Structure 1
Amino acid sequence: MPQLSLSGLVKTYGAARALDGAGLVLRGGEVHALMGENGAGKSTLIRILAGLERADAGEILLDGRVLTLGSPAAAEAAGLRFLHQELQVVPGLSVAENMHLARDYPTRFGLVDWRALHLAAEAALQRLGVGHIGARVPMARLGPGDQMLVRIAATLLQGSGPAPWLYVLDEPTAALTGAEAARLFTAIARLKAAGAGVLYVSHRMDEVLALADRVTVLRDGAHTSTEARADTDQARLIHAMTGRELSDMYPARQTAALGPVLLSVRGLAAAGLASLDLDLRAGEVVGLAGLAGSGRNAALKALIGAVARRGRVELAGAALAVTPAGTWAQGLAYVPRERRAEGVMLLRALAETVSLPHLGALSRLGFLDRRAERGAVAARGAEVRLKARGPGQPVGQLSGGNQQKVLFARALLGRPKVLLLDEPTRGVDVGAKFDIYSLIRGLSAQGVAVLIASSDLPELIGLCDRIAVLHGGVHTQTLAAEGLTEAELLARCYESPTR
């Protein structure tokens, strides 16, 4: 099997050292995960592998021979292929045409041989085990996961160029549904079985621990550890990435006192939710747990007014409005699950995303007060420890963790009474998770009531005072979080309402 060895890599940008002796060994026939907080050096290492950057020092060997990666063409010639979460596709062209973007179209008598083009694409898709995507289908009809499978399959087209043996996947599931991610994992398994290597870069520990044969961790640009999957676990990885113990990830409650009921919910129903009864007190953190489709996410959308609801809901003793504008104005704030699709405006200044629900409060005589907006955004950005050049920086230029902090800054700008969080740490690195957990704990100490819907059961147990369990859209029980185990909570999630 081929083997690519990187050792002692150093890369500096001015006074900043992005890599400080980093290294790892990649082999054909295995999945090697690369983990680390934002700023750990993962992106810089990938850019060096791709031939987009040159290391200031260090050595790269392919099967024991020095490999010079001075350009993307050199990386391709060495058999390396790169797939990013932001895929480069042409939506208006077919699957087959997209697969041939980087190579010549087959021709016959001087014209494009469309039959050969489609047959070649279909053969490559079949080699990857992808039978549900047609070669003639427009790329625009495919979801992000299937588009990624098409880009992987494109590397399997038969041709005269060098055969790929190493695939670098950078946060490949960041924008995928569960079904799309499952198909990607199947494709990765087929690549591995065929002798290819995969460098899998991800913040998602469950995926890493399920897929990887070995895991390398970078911290502050340096190699911290490389371990076989069987020899590591979540606690060891967190310590390698941050220097913290897993038990330190969830800050302790600062005060045991709870205030009056702020949010009272009786018979809440909406699409995907049959019934929820819940009281949420000032300073309390309550979780919503349940299997996929249990209604936990639907409950938050119904409360914020994003979908029609039934039932009686009161906020601080007054009937809750039924529109998002009304609920935000009353003191309810919401951080959605899908930040890119439902939360941020990627191409716009981050200040616009933060201020969007608060334009009335930031306006004078019907005009937005830009100075007040900048001041409010800067203050809330500092509160959530947002790392950005300034309020004018486009959201799309920020890391996933900082994009999530933009949404937290928006939620806090109006000083909410109740904060609704839907998968608040989804797709962020472990350092950003700790910042978010500390923020939630600090808000509860100030008397803010927090309602969290999450599929991360340890997160719910570590943060919440109580956990409401939903099954099939029905609220079945409410549990005290103290002393609760992950196994017990999962078992409760499987219990039907009639049990």
Structure 2
Amino acid sequence: MPQLDLETISRRFGAVTALDGVSLSLRPGEVHALMGENGAGKSTLIRVLAGLDRPDEGRIMLGGEEIPPGQPAAMREAGLRFIHQELHAVKGLSVAENMHLDHPYPRRAGLVNWGALNAAASEALARLGLETIDPRAPMTDLGPGDQMLVRIASTLIADGDRPAWLYVMDEPTAALTSGESERLFTVIGQLIGQGGGVLYVSHRMPEVLRLADRVTVLRDGRHVSTRPLSETGEARIIEEMTGRDLSALFPPRRSDATPGEVVLRVEQLSAGPLEEATFELRAGEVLGVAGIAGSGRGALLRALVGEQSRSDGTVTLDGRTLNGGPKQAWRGGMAYVPRERRSEGLMLRRAIFENVALPHLSGLARLRYFLDHRRQRRVARDLGGQVQLKAASITQACEELSGGNQQKVLFARALAGAPKVLLLDEPTRGVDIGARSELYRLIRELSDAGLAVVMASSDLPELLGLSDRIAIMRDGRLSEFVEAEGLTEAELLSRFYHLSKEEQAA
């Protein structure tokens, strides 16, 4: 296949210039990463590629021939396919039926040829090594990772169009586990080996550094650079995306800020996969929680906030024992930001101020029983300023916000009750580097002001850059605590798999 070229693409929405003369070349046989903060122009560029937006200037060329802009059918005919993070499986239909939603059903004597339909689906799945997926099984029986792979396999079904060769993947691992992501990476390698090309959009730097052959950076709708991966790296990419040096990503602790008195005592806490967790947390301290996937990082936080039923142990917050569920924990001075903001944290179609107020309704009510919307709006407006929320207004629906701003809504909600302990589960998951930097600044300011933080994260630089101590979890147990200062990523990672000296002696 010849390469696809976008030449000086510009796109304006009224007075706002979303793309300003952006050029990009996409080649078969390579993964091309597209990087940029929210608002950099990535989504608009993808919409232009998909034919959903017509550029005001510029053209799209395939092998020297211009493709008509603003025509989705023309882009499909050119061999482009789009894989989005939001999967829309049709309930009640099988894997094979879902795979044929973009393709004509094979027919015989005017009726659907179910044998041919299942066979075509099986052949497409086999091309990606997915023989274990039964094309006759209900699509909704599959996990998010397998649904993503099925979506990719469906593009390999022949239907008379030019065969798919260029796959545009927009945050494809946002809803996947680490194991599911690994399967996706294997499939990407197979697509590249078969002569395909991938435009890969992700905020996850380790994925980009692992997969990409070339990296293009956009900032404020303009093309900043396109470089082979061998000529760039994390620090350079971040600096080009943000205009800031990587060394400034993690703000230092204030020189006069020191941990205070113990505010949280956890003794022999067991809940679900968590076993006999014991530790203390001081005011102003940031305790990182680290370990491989499935080690129990998230289970620890859910047990602390009372979301996971406890089988043993005690949790004492500021001298008060917490024996109830999340309601008692929130009222007692504990706040929680969950891992999955869209499925676990937000009412996406409701306004920002309603989401911020959700756990605090009794405290924001008039005469205990009547919602005080004016007070809710005032609190949301004040906290929105503190977390640097970017929104049209606090009445805007959360589904209209970027991932980083949705995460800031959850931080605002957590702070609305003036907590003494803040629990953060993957606090910067799926947000761009700019929003991440702002959240890091916020976490540091809160801890300097005396708020105690427990932060579970799979991001090693994040753990090392913010934590005072790091608790290592292994198989549902807190195996050891280490000081973060002076610890390297390699040393931290090695502790996930190897016994500490104390465990070896035991």
Q: TM-score range by the shorter chain?
A: over 0.9
Partner residue, 1:248: 248
Instruction: Give TM-score scaled by structure 1 length.
Output: 0.97
Cα distance in 1 for residues equivalent to 2:34 and 2:243? 17
Tell whether 2:64 aligns with 1:64: yes
Paired letter, 2:457? S
Cα distance in 2 for residues equivalent to 1:488 and 1:251? 22
Tell me, yes or no, if the aligned pair for 1:461 and 1:481 is still in contact at 8 Å: yes
Cα distance in 2 for residues equivalent to 1:414 and 1:209? 40
Tell me, yes or no, if the aligned pair for 2:296 and 2:475 is still in contact at 8 Å: yes
Partner residue, 1:347: 349
Paired letter, 1:493? F
Tell whether 2:153 aligns with 1:153: yes
Per-residue CA distance 1:307-353 (angstroms, 9 max, x = gap): 12222321111212431000000110000112222111223223232
Cα distance in 2 for residues equivalent to 1:457 and 1:376? 34
Cα distance in 2 for residues equivalent to 1:407 and 1:337? 11
Per-residue CA distance 1:91-127 (angstroms, 9 max, x = gap): 2211111122223211111211111111111111111
Partner residue, 1:286: 287
List, as ranges, runs of 4+ consecutive aligned residues in structure 1 with deviation greater than 4 Å: none
For 1:70-109, what aligned pairs fall within 5 Å after superposition? 70-109=70-109
Q: What is the SS of the residue equivalent to 1:477?
A: strand
Q: Which moved more, 1:63-72 or 1:370-379?
A: 63-72
Partner residue, 2:13: 13
Aligned-residue offset at 1:192: 0.7
Partner residue, 1:276: 277
Per-residue CA distance 1:132-166 (angstroms, 9 max, x = gap): 21111112212222222222222111232211111
Per-residue CA distance 1:347-396 (angstroms, 9 max, x = gap): 32232322111011011221111111111111111211112222332222
Cα distance in 2 for residues equivalent to 1:132 and 1:487? 35
Cα distance in 1 for residues equivalent to 2:129 and 2:495? 37
Per-residue CA distance 1:60-97 (angstroms, 9 max, x = gap): 22112322222101111111111111233312211111
Cα distance in 2 for residues equivalent to 1:73 and 1:471? 51
Q: What is the SS of the residue equivalent to 2:275?
A: coil
Aligned-residue offset at 1:171: 0.7
Tell whether 2:360 aligns with 1:358: yes
Partner residue, 1:337: 339
Q: 1:367–1:312: structure 2 CA closer, same or farther, 3 Å change rule? A: same
Tell whether 2:173 aligns with 1:170: no
Tell whether 2:377 aligns with 1:374: yes
Aligned-residue offset at 1:473: 2.2
Q: 1:461 aligns with which of 464, 469, 478?
A: 464
Partner residue, 1:436: 439
Tell me, yes or no, if the aligned pair for 1:290 and 1:470 is still in contact at 8 Å: yes
For 1:376-455, what aligned pairs fall within 5 Å after superposition? 376-455=379-458
Q: What is the SS of the residue equivalent to 1:277?
A: strand
Paired letter, 2:159? G
Paired letter, 1:143? G
Tell whether 2:326 aligns with 1:324: yes
Instruction: Give TM-score scaled by structure 2 length.
Output: 0.96
Cα distance in 2 for residues equivalent to 1:324 and 1:412? 15
Cα distance in 2 for residues equivalent to 1:237 and 1:150? 32
Aligned-residue offset at 1:305: 0.3
Partner residue, 1:475: 478
Paired letter, 1:396? E
Partner residue, 2:305: 304
Aligned-residue offset at 1:211: 1.0
Tell whether 2:50 aligns with 1:50: yes
Aligned-residue offset at 1:199: 0.4
> What is the identity percentage for the equivalent residue pairs of Structure 1 and Structure 2?
60
Cα distance in 1 for residues equivalent to 2:35 and 2:386? 27
For 1:138-287, what aligned pairs fall within 5 Å after superposition? 138-254=138-254, 255-287=256-288
Tell me, yes or no, if the aligned pair for 1:308 and 1:322 is still in contact at 8 Å: no
Q: 1:155–1:196: structure 2 CA closer, same or farther, 3 Å change rule? A: same
Paired letter, 1:128? L
Q: Which runs of 5+ in 2 are unaligned?
A: none
